[in-house]
Structure 1
Amino acid sequence: MVIVFINRNEEHHIVATTPAPTESKSRPPQARSVLRDIAFLRLWAGTTASGLATWALPFVLGLAVLQRELGAAGLGLVLAARTAGFLVAVAVGGVLADRHSRRAVVLWSALAAAAAAPLLAVGLGRSLLLMTVAAALAGAGQGACRPAFQALTAEVVDADRRQQANAATTLAVRASTLAGPALTALLAAFTGVATLLLGIGLLWLVAALLPGRGATAAAPDDAPRPRRASLRAEFVDGIREARRHPWFLAGLGALTAVIALGYSATSVALPLISRDRYATEWVLAAAMTAYTVGALGGALVTARLRPRSQGWAAFAGLAAYGFAPLSLMFPVHPAVVIGAYAVAGIGIELFNVPWFTATQREVAPDKLARVSSLDFLVSYGLAPVGLALIAPAIDTFGVTPVLGACAAACFLVPAAAALAPTARHFGRPPAPRETQ
């Protein structure tokens, strides 16, 4: 089994209407790099710590299976509980992050995930029930903090630097994914799984305590508090906000199709093809490494890339994932498979970073966390469905037809989404520069 981690570390933009002075022909000063902003660096470090902790938990639990401290069935149950906790909490967390301080939601959700780590360590080899409950708590903490981190980024970073900020965040998470397995395996040679679980808890503590407050001012204590609607009503209000943006609905549909079909097909088929066609696990390892390296390159490119038709460029990047299942359909040289995965990695970040930035720019600030939670809920929520259906489909129709259908979906669905109103620019087109 291959677990593909999709970095979806995922702002309402006020367009200035006052024209620039026409007397001056000098270029405007370049905005200061976001990497020199202490507030963002604290947020970046906290987001990176949460991403690393999120990635590390299933890997460390896999080590527990190898060391016979946890059975395969127990691993499946624990990971399922974690996913269930995530899906429930991501919707609730989005509402809470729009109701209250985004910083407070990050704090309490990350503290909940941190508290789950010692419970997992205590239950390891002793109580599967305790581990299942702790995994659900860890997933809930992870899910609740995701939309809050997205909304907090919009508060900490000004609009002109958000794409750079999102690229820096995804770059850090991809680098952690690339170096994490080797580092964790090295630590496992000197310490036990229980200690590694406690280390994951420390990462969540960093995520909880390091980020600072956003720019949103808190209401004074004596200010009248408006009567709140129910959690369900406020989440539905977030759905209404999402429906105001045709590009968002189209992009979410395309992203879900690629994750549920493309990622799922390659996650199931790549190990089989690596074993049966190439008779080696090397192709599997090299392809997954190439995907992560490609994603690193894509994040670097998107830090400064500003195409004129940003939405169309992003959808083209998303469609590039189709080359991964396409390369597995035919008995090609392993280098072709590895190259296709590198292209897929580049493409996914050419979509992810502009997608997050456009969401932070276009969505109303007081509904941003709810719309972000809808993004995570739909895309992540349908991924297990795809994984569950792909294997029976391969058994029934064969690996090549299934891969062909999934590759076609990866190419065609983003192309169709690009035709949606406002999809070309992911919202409003950039304002033309004043000319003399």
Structure 2
Amino acid sequence: MRPDVRPGGTLLRDTAFLRLWIGATASGLATWALPFVLGFAVLERSMTAVELGVVLAARTVGFLVAVPVAGVLADRHSRRRVVFWAGSVAGLTSPLIAVGLGRSVVVMAVAAAAVGAGQGACRPAFQALTAEVVAEEQRRRANAAMTLAVRVTTLVAPGLTALLALVVDTPALIVATAVLWLAAASIPPPGTAVVPAARRRFAAEFVDGVREARRHPWFVAGLGALTAVIATGYSATGVVLPLVSRDRYGTGAVLAAAMTAYTVGALGGAIIAGRRGSRAQGWTALAGLACYGFVPLTLLLPVHAVFVIGAYVAAGVGIELFNVPWFTATQREVEPSMLARVSSLDFLLSYGLAPVGLALIAPAIDGFGADVVLAVCAVVCFAAPAAAALVPSARDFR
């Protein structure tokens, strides 16, 4: 049965949502922590930078393979059950990375692929489970609370992890991520039972999800804009920002300040998006997404470092002004029995393909120069959301 959700109540007093929030936060923390912890292993010379790249690439492959599969499974079966098995797989295989550390990169890579699969399977299932656990009028605040937890983790966790590294070794920290995954598997509440259509072949059911996504022009346009911004602006700045910080400003402080500013901006954006809606919520969301264009623009122009940091604050605010209404609209507009499949398309194309953008940006910079690449990225970041806003249903994401 559906947990009791009081439409006018406070989310933090809702036990079902609190369990969902804790589980999603645990999975997000475990996802973020692994690359950071393995970075300590490189510093300790327990593994090489090349081995780190192989392990993280294997995790990305596992993620990309699992996301569409999980989308279908989470629409066939209980979303809570998919979260349980996905978190359990990630939790039980994470310690194998510690076992292979300094011994076998193959063992680490295989284990990382399984962890990535668990991570990828959780994403669409959590998205669909939110729609089951939280009443519609509370979902905007619920999605803001979800993303707020991620941002707080990103801001606070590096320092905490560094302090823990002084007390315990890297294998123990890896095992700690396994504990987080097991918490993510066991804590979330059950949702309502969505009765799926007659079961068909896997590929046919996935195609049904694609058709459902295409039935919403605002979703197709918004996803195209989000994918373009992440693949260009996000990827380019990830590569160029360290170089600009070093060569233009002569210090790594600009790099650290800019990344912190992005997270702080995202915290503010999540709070604003959770408390305030707008009549033209789709246009507001796309305008927020376009704010990322200021980042490559300030990296391109010879401006004071304060403008670069300010651009990252604006980008952080903007991405959450997009994310919160985007997730909320998807949960509201998409056919409930296909929500996980549509959400899997979202994660697959936007965040799943981000490593492809990172892989292509460096050769593009070598071939055309950083200035040309940054200029193109800035144009894409401004133009893609503007083009998406021209779709009639994009005004309100309806």
TM-score tier after normalising by the smaller chain length: over 0.9
**Residue among 421, 425, 432 paired with 2:392:** 421
The unaligned stretches of length 5 or more in structure 2 are: 1-5
Which of residues 173, 184, 209 in structure 1 aligns to 2:150?
A: 173
Question: Are residues 1:86 and 2:68 paired?
Answer: no
- Which residue of 390, 397, 403 maps to 2:361? 390
Q: Residues 320 and 81 (structure 1 numbering): CA distance in 2 closer, same or farther, change over 3 Å?
A: same
1:211 counterpart = 2:188: yes
Which of structure 1's runs of 4+ aligned residues deviate more than 6 A?
Answer: none
Q: CA deviation at 1:127?
A: 1.1
Whole-angstrom CA distance in 1 between matches of 2:284 and 2:198: 43
Cα gap change, 1:308 to 1:115, in 2 (>3 Å):
same
| Secondary structure class of the residue paired with 1:228 | coil
Structure 2 CA distance for aligned equivalents of residues 397 and 85 of structure 1: 32
Does 2:88 match 1:117? Answer: no
Task: Give a deviation string over 1:31-79, Cα, whole Å, max 9, x none.
Answer: 2121211100000000000000000011111111111011111111101
Which residue of 1 is the match for residue 141 of structure 2? 164
Secondary structure at the counterpart of residue 183 of structure 2? helix
Tell me, yes or no, if the aligned pair for 2:7 and 2:138 is still in contact at 8 Å. Answer: no
Specify the code of the residue in structure 2 equivalent to 1:273.
V
Aligned position for 1:317:
288
Please state if 1:98 is matched with 2:75. Answer: yes
The equivalences for 1:1-16 within 5 A come to: none
**In structure 1, C-alpha distance between the alignment counterparts of 2:305 and 2:321, rounded to whole Å:** 25
Measured in 2, the distance between the counterparts of 1:58 and 1:150 equals 24
C-alpha distance 226-279 of structure 1, shift in aligned 2 (>3 A): closer
TM-score when normalising by structure 2: 0.97
Q: How does 1:15-414 map to 2 (within 5 A)?
A: 31-216=8-193, 228-414=199-385
What SS class does the counterpart of residue 82 from structure 2 fall into?
A: helix
TM-score (norm 1): 0.89
Q: Deviations over 1:115-143 (max 9, x none)?
A: 12111111111111110000000000000
Tell whether the 8 Å contact from 2:7 to 2:137 is kept in structure 1 after alignment: no
Structure 1 distance, partners of 2:8, 2:192, is 19
**Which amino acid is the alignment partner of residue 280 of structure 1?**
T
Please state which structure has a larger fraction of its residues in helix: 2
Aligned length: 393
Q: Are the structure 2 counterparts of residues 30 and 194 from structure 1 closer, same or farther at C-alpha, using a change threshold of 3 Å?
A: closer
Supply the distance in 2 between the matched residues of 1:80 and 1:320 (Cα, whole angstroms): 29
CA–CA separation in structure 1 for the residues paired with 2:193 and 2:34:
33
Cα shift at 1:30: 8.2
Which residue of structure 2 aligns with residue 13 of structure 1? none
Deviation at 1:95, TM superposition (A): 0.3
Residue pair 2:254, 2:309 contacting (<8 A) in 1 also = yes
**Partner amino acid for 1:80?**
A
> 1:256 & 1:53 partners in 2: Cα distance?
24
Deviates more, 1:386-395 or 1:205-214: 386-395
Q: Distance in 1 between matches of 2:146 and 2:385?
A: 24
**Is the alpha carbon distance of 1:360 and 1:85 closer, same or farther for their aligned partners in structure 2, counting shifts above 3 Å?**
same
- SS of 2:351's partner is helix
In structure 1, distance between residues paired with 2:336 and 2:308: 42
Q: Could you tell me how far 1:227 is from its partner in structure 2?
A: 5.3
**1:366-423 Cα shifts (integer Å, max 9, x gaps):** 0000000000111123212211111111112211121111011100110010011300
Superposed displacement of residue 226, structure 1: 7.4
**Superposed displacement of residue 315, structure 1:** 0.2
The alignment partner of 1:258 has SS state of helix
Structure 1 counterpart SS, 2:54: helix
Instruction: State the partner residue of 1:431.
Output: none
CA distance in 1, matches of 2:339, 2:199: 17
Tell me, yes or no, if the aligned pair for 2:289 and 2:321 is still in contact at 8 Å: yes
Check conservation: 2:63, 2:352, Cα contact below 8 A. Answer: no
